Amino acid sequence: MARTSARQRELAIRAALGAGHGRLIQQFLVESFALSLAARMLGILIAAGGLRILPVILPQTYHVRRESPSTPRFSYSLWPQR
């Protein structure tokens, strides 16, 4: 709730200072893209770390298949899904 009111206040100040509708939308899109990219990169790092840790944690009866990340798989993970 407090976050929303702070965001509304920020938008009101930007609009009062002359930021147009398009500029505000551009700001939202850039912020969303940056957060999305950071989250995806963090997810890739966590997954890579998990692939290294899982064989140590799991008993030897389980087989963990390790594959090197290929470009198509990596680029698919960066492409926005519908």
Q: Inter-axis angle of helices 71-78 and 21-57, to 10 degrees?
A: 140
- Direct distance between the N- and C-terminal alpha carbons of the chain, in angstroms, rounded to an integer: 29
For the entire predicted model, the pTM comes to: 0.58
Q: What pLDDT does residue 40 have?
A: 92
Give me the sign of the Cα torsion angle 1, 39, 12, 10: positive
Torsion of CA 34, 50, 67, 57, to 10 degrees: 180
**Taking 80 as the threshold, does the pLDDT of residue 9 lie above it?**
yes
| Residues 8, 14: Cα–Cα separation, whole Å | 10
Among the residue ranges 26-30, 34-38, 40-44, 59-63, the one predicted with the least confidence is: 59-63
